């Protein structure tokens, strides 16, 4: 199994009042699979995605990648693993507005210390794939929502992750741009065999994935088993 979650629980504190958002989430995702997670606002979808992406730690429970349990003690090893294996597309883009498209795109390559040749080659490849070549030098604030989302996806793909996590990647887009983004995800999944975990409110989009899970009242249930 590529990703496995066992009995994941997450408690947040509202003042000193504990609130259990995740109450025992179980999930198995195979390599190359594409799945959707749906659920009401506030049900914990972003929380769960952050836990899968190892940027947040469950209160109890375990996560395994290829059978190996995540060790939260070793920060350096964990962030190395995360950089190498996981790409994030956040709910609100997280792009740097004062930089242009090319500069935003290559940030992971710079952090990773890739050679300039490698950075330029990867950037060209991604800009082509995302059909953003004409926007290469444009400032982020001049981009449409769909273009920003494509850029955020490009940045998430820069280091060729095995797992792509996307938090409502079409939430702020018109139906036409949303369709383009989803087709792009499906293409990436098929061509590059990237495993995809997508959070969405849109059932039509969710149904294009291999499996749909519903997060409700702290538990994750496969949709067609409801």
Ligand X SMILES: Nc1ncnc2c1ncn2[C@@H]1O[C@H](COP(=O)(O)OP(=O)(O)OP(=O)(O)O)[C@@H](O)[C@H]1O
By the criterion CB under 6 A, which residues form the site for ligand X? 12, 21, 39, 41-47
Q: From the list ligand X, Mg ion, none, which binds 43 (C-beta under 5 to 8 Å, kind-based)?
A: ligand X
Of 21 and 127, the one with the shorter C-beta distance to ligand X is 21
Longest dimension (CA), the chain: 53
Contact present, 36 and 212 (Cβ < 8 Å) = yes
Cα gap 70→67, rounded to integer Å: 9
Of 85 and 216, the one with the shorter C-beta distance to ligand X is 216
Secondary structure of 17-72 as H, E, C letters:
EEEEEEEEEEEEECCCCEEEEECCCCCCHHHHHHHHCCCCCCCEEEEEECCEECCC
- Site residues for Mg ion, window 125-164 (CB under 5 A)? none
Of 10 and 135, the one with the shorter C-beta distance to ligand X is 10
Contact present, 63 and 54 (Cβ < 8 Å) = yes
Minimum gap (Å) between residue 46 Cβ and Mg ion: 3
Q: From the list Mg ion, ligand X, none, which binds 148 (C-beta under 5 to 8 Å, kind-based)?
A: none
Strands 195-199 and 163-167 come out as parallel
Contact present, 56 and 44 (Cβ < 8 Å) = no
Minimum gap (Å) between residue 11 Cβ and ligand X: 9
Residue 99: C-alpha distances to residues 50, 137, 211 (Å)? 26, 9, 37
- Which residue from 2, 4, 6, 46 is in contact with Mg ion, where contact means CB under 5 A? 46
Of 15 and 113, the one with the shorter C-beta distance to ligand X is 15
Minimum gap (Å) between residue 21 Cβ and Mg ion: 11
Using CB under 5 A as the binding rule, whether residue 54 contacts Mg ion is answered as no
Minimum gap (Å) between residue 31 Cβ and Mg ion: 26
Of 12 and 80, the one with the shorter C-beta distance to ligand X is 12
3-state secondary structure of 55: coil
Q: How many residues line the site for Mg ion (CB under 5 A)?
A: 1
Of 45 and 129, the one with the shorter C-beta distance to Mg ion is 45
Using CB under 5 A as the binding rule, whether residue 172 contacts Mg ion is answered as no
Minimum gap (Å) between residue 175 Cβ and ligand X: 19
Q: Count CB-CB contacts under 10 A for residue 201.
A: 14
Which tokens belong to 5?
């979650």
Minimum gap (Å) between residue 220 Cβ and ligand X: 12
Which residues contact Mg ion (rule: CB under 5 A)? Answer: 46
């Amino acid at each position: 199994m590529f990703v496995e979650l066992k009995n994941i629980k997450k408690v947040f504190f509202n003042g000193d009042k504990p609130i259990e958002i995740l109450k025992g989430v179980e999930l198995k995702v195979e390599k190359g699979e594409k799945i959707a997670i749906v659920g009401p606002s506030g049900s914990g979808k972003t929380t769960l995605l952050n836990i899968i992406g190892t940027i947040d730690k469950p209160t109890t429970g375990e996560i395994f990648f290829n059978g190996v349990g995540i060790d939260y003690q070793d920060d350096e090893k964990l962030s190395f693993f995360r950089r190498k294996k996981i790409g994030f597309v956040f709910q609100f883009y997280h792009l740097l507005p004062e930089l242009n498209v090319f500069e935003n795109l290559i940030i992971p390559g710079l952090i990773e210390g890739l050679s300039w040749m490698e950075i330029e080659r990867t950037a060209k490849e991604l800009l082509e794939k995302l059909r953003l070549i004409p926007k290469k030098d444009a400032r982020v604030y001049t981009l449409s929502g769909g273009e920003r989302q494509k850029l955020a996806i490009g940045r998430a793909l820069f280091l060729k992750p095995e797992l792509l996590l996307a938090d409502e990647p079409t939430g702020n887009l018109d139906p036409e741009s949303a369709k383009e983004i989803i087709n792009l995800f499906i293409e990436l999944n098929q061509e590059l065999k990237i495993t995809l975990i997508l959070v969405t409110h849109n059932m039509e989009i969710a149904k294009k994935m291999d499996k749909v899970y519903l997060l409700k009242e702290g538990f994750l249930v496969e949709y067609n088993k409801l």
